Structure 1
C-alpha cells in the first residue's frame, strides 16, 4: 500500500512538473504543434477590373483587420503616421474603383509602416525599355554594358524627377536610402505607376536628358513586363590558394548548402586564408542557413532578439497554439572569431531580409568586413511574412508578424548596414578583395 502511495505521489509530481513546464513554455515560447496551412492563391489580379463600392469596402475592411491583428508594430500602440495613412485610405476608397486604382491606395496605406516585408505583390503589365540608376539624387542612364553615362533624366513627359520621386516614396515602402533609390529605379519604369503620377504615358514617353550644358529629348517605348525567375545558386569555388569565393544567392538549408559547407571546411583545412561570401541580390529566406555557414568557418555568431506576435493568420500559417498575444525572445551578442581567416561579406541594395541578417551578425560580432554597398532593409527590422489574398480584388499581400532586434542593441536604431569598404556600383568587389590581400 505504501509503495502504491509513493508511485502515485511520483506520478502526481511528474504531472505537476509537466503541467508547469507546459504553461511556462506556452507563455514564453512560440509553440507550433498544428500542421501549418500552406498559402494558395485563389485567382489572379485583373488590373482593369471594376470593383463595386461594396466590394472595395469589403476588401478594405479585410486588409485593415489583417494588418492590425498581425503586425508587431501595433504592440507599441498606433503611431501618427499610420493613423493618418489609414484615414486617407478609408477616405480614398469609399467608392467604386478599378483594381489598379485600389492597388495604389493599398500600397500607400501599407507604406506608412515603413516595413519592406509588409507590402503587396505589385502588378505591372508593361514597363519602360530603359536602363538607368538612381545615384546621388540623380537618375542617370546606363549604356548597353551597364556603364554609367553622363546623361541625367530630368523629366518624363514633362514631369520633373523630383516630383516623381515624391510620388514613388508615397506609394512604395522603403526602410533606408538604398531601398528608396531601388524603388525609384524600378517603379518609375512601370506604366501604371507613371499613369498614377500624372505622366500620361501612351505607346512611349519622352525623356528630357541633361548632359553637361546640353538638353535633348529621347523617346522610350514600353515592353511587356516579364518576371525573371529567382536565382537560387549556392556554391563555392577556389579563386587561388588564399581565396575562396562563395556565391550565396538564397538563404536556404538544402543539399547545395551542405555540399558547400563540406567543401569550405576542406579548403580551410588546406590553408585558405580569405573567405568571400557574396550575398548581392540575395532576397533572404531561412536565417538558419546563415548561421550554419558562419559556424562552418569555425566561428560563433550572436543571435537576434525577437518579438513574435500571434494572430489568426499566424496560427494558420505557422501552426502556433495561440492566436492572440505575443512573446519576447532574448538574443545574444556573444560571438567568436576565427583568427586564422579573414571573412568578407559582399552586399548591395538588393541584399534583403536574412541576407542582411548575415551581414549584421558579421558586423555585430566583429567577425569580418562588409564590402560593396548598403542593403535595402534595416539591420533591426520586421519580418517572417504571413501571406494573404483579398477576396474581391485578388490582391496578394505580405505582412510581418515578427520584430527582430540585432545582437548589438546599442545600434538597434541604425537604418542602414553601411559597408566597411564602400565601392562604386561598377567596381568589382571580388577583385578588390583579392587585390587588397596580395
Structure 2
C-alpha cells in the first residue's frame, strides 16, 4: 500500500516536472523576446567582401523574419509603416532577382537592408555596420568649428543628405541632420553614401574667408584630433557653484551602476551641506542607456511620487499592454525641495529623453535648450541580431512606449526655455541669478 502511494507520488512529481519543462521550452521557443538574439559581438565581413545573390536574399529574408516575429508594430492593426516596410522589402527583393548580377558586396547589402528598415521610422530599429576596424577622419576640429561641409570630394552634401534620409533609421528629421554631421566622419558611412575613400577624403567648408578645402586620411577612433572643450573624461560628475547657489550634475551616459549611485549620493549630500537651492541636470549629448538612472535621481527629491509611462511588450505573437502607473517614493531625510532644471539638445536620446520626460510631464522642473532627438511615443528596448552571411548588426525594438502626459502625445520633449543648446548652462545660470 505504501509502495503504491509512493509510486503515485513520484508519477505526479514527474508529470508536473515534465509539464513545467514543456512550458519553459514553449516560452523560450515562442514567447521569449530575446529568442534568437546575438549573445556576443560578431565581426562583420569587410564592406568590399563579395556575396552571392542567394546569400543577400537569405540575409534580407532573415531581416524581415526578425522584424515580423519580434517588433511590436507587426501586431498593431493597419500599421501604415509596417505596410511601407513590407512594400520596400518586396521591391528590393524583386530588384535583386531581376538584375543580371550574381555578385554583391557587404556594402550593397547594408544599403538594401537599411532602405527596408528606414521605412519604419523607428530610431531603435535598423541595420548597422559595427566593426572593430571602423575608421574616421583624422581631424574633427574643422567639422566641430564650421559644421557640415558644403561638399565632400566635390559632391554636394545636400545630395548626400538626401540619400542618407532613405537609409538611416530616425524619428525626427532634426536628429537625422545632427547625426549626419557625425556619420560623415565615419569612413563606413561615407562608403555607404557612395564617397570614394581610397585616397582619403576632401571636405569643403564655407568659412568667413570663403570656401576652404581640408583633406583627411582615416584613423582609428582613439587617434582622432578634436577640440578639447571638456577636460573631465568621466561620464558622470558634478560641480557645486556656491556663489550662484546652483549645482550642476552632468550625465553623459545613462549607466545604472554603483559608480552612478555613489556619485549621485555624494552630489546630493554636498547640495544639502552647502544649502544649494538650484540643481541643473545636464543631459546634452546623452544618447541613453538605462532609464533607471532617472528613477534613482527622483528618489532624492522632496516628492511623494511620480507618474510613469504606459507601454506594450511583445512576447511572440502576443502584445502585452501595461498601463501607466504611479511610483511612490520613500522620502530621504534630506530630500531636495529646491528648483530643478534639465538641459537637453537633439542628442538627448532614448533613456536620457525619458529622464527629461519624467521631469517635464510630472511638473518637477524646467527644460532648457532644444527638443530631444527621438519621440516619447516610440518603440524601444533593443534586441540585437546578426545576419547569417554578411554578419551585419540588426537592431529591433520589442516594446512600445507612450508619453506620460497624454495631452502631448506625438510631440517631442520641448524645452520650457528655448535657446542654443551650447549656451543652455549660461541661460540657466541667468534664470537662477535673475
The interval holding the TM-score normalised by the smaller chain is: 0.7 to 0.9
Segments of structure 2 that go 5 or more residues without pairing to the other structure are 1-30, 225-232
**Is 1:437 matched with 2:424?**
no
Match of 1:222 in 2: 217
**Is 1:88 matched with 2:91?**
yes
Match of 1:309 in 2: 314
Superposed CA deviations along residues 153-198 of structure 1, whole A, max 9, x for unmatched, are: 3333332222111101111111113311123212233444444544
Match of 1:101 in 2: 108
Cα distance between partner residues in 1 of 2:281 and 2:41: 35
Q: Report the more deviating stretch, 219-228 or 400-409.
A: 219-228
Query: CA separation of 1:417/1:120 partners in 2, compared to 1, >3 Å: closer, same or farther?
Result: same
Cα distance between partner residues in 2 of 1:383 and 1:289: 17
Provide the secondary structure at the position in 1 that maps to 2:279.
strand
Cα distance between partner residues in 2 of 1:260 and 1:109: 42
Cα distance between partner residues in 2 of 1:42 and 1:126: 18
Match of 1:317 in 2: none
Superposed, which structure 2 residues align to 1:364-379 within 5 Å?
364-379=361-376
Superposed, which structure 2 residues align to 1:8-407 within 5 Å?
39-76=39-76, 77-79=78-80, 80-94=83-97, 95-123=102-130, 125-129=134-138, 131=140, 142=143, 146-148=144-146, 153-211=149-207, 216=211, 218-226=213-221, 233-240=235-242, 242-270=245-273, 271-299=275-303, 300-311=305-316, 324-332=317-325, 340-407=337-404
Cα distance between partner residues in 2 of 1:371 and 1:123: 34
Provide the secondary structure at the position in 2 that maps to 1:388.
strand
Cα distance between partner residues in 2 of 1:78 and 1:343: 39
Is the CA contact 2:33–2:314 (under 8 Å) kept in the aligned structure 1? Answer: no
Query: CA separation of 1:183/1:364 partners in 2, compared to 1, >3 Å: closer, same or farther?
Result: same
Query: CA separation of 1:264/1:187 partners in 2, compared to 1, >3 Å: closer, same or farther?
Result: closer
Provide the secondary structure at the position in 1 that maps to 2:88.
helix
Superposed CA deviations along residues 247-302 of structure 1, whole A, max 9, x for unmatched, are: 22222332223223433443454422111111222222221221120121223321
Cα distance between partner residues in 2 of 1:187 and 1:33: 30
Is the CA contact 2:255–2:289 (under 8 Å) kept in the aligned structure 1? Answer: yes
Return the offset for 1:401: 0.2
Q: CA RMSD in A?
A: 3.4
Segments of structure 1 that go 5 or more residues without pairing to the other structure are 1-30, 133-140, 312-323
Is the CA contact 2:32–2:315 (under 8 Å) kept in the aligned structure 1? Answer: no
* Matched residues, number: 381
Cα distance between partner residues in 2 of 1:369 and 1:349: 17
Match of 2:407 in 1: 410
Superposed CA deviations along residues 190-237 of structure 1, whole A, max 9, x for unmatched, are: 44444454444441444444457x7545242231242799x7623333
Is the CA contact 1:168–1:188 (under 8 Å) kept in the aligned structure 2? Answer: no
Return the offset for 1:342: 0.9
Is the CA contact 2:272–2:336 (under 8 Å) kept in the aligned structure 1? Answer: no
Is the CA contact 1:56–1:96 (under 8 Å) kept in the aligned structure 2? Answer: no
Query: CA separation of 1:181/1:365 partners in 2, compared to 1, >3 Å: closer, same or farther?
Result: same
Is the CA contact 1:115–1:173 (under 8 Å) kept in the aligned structure 2? Answer: yes
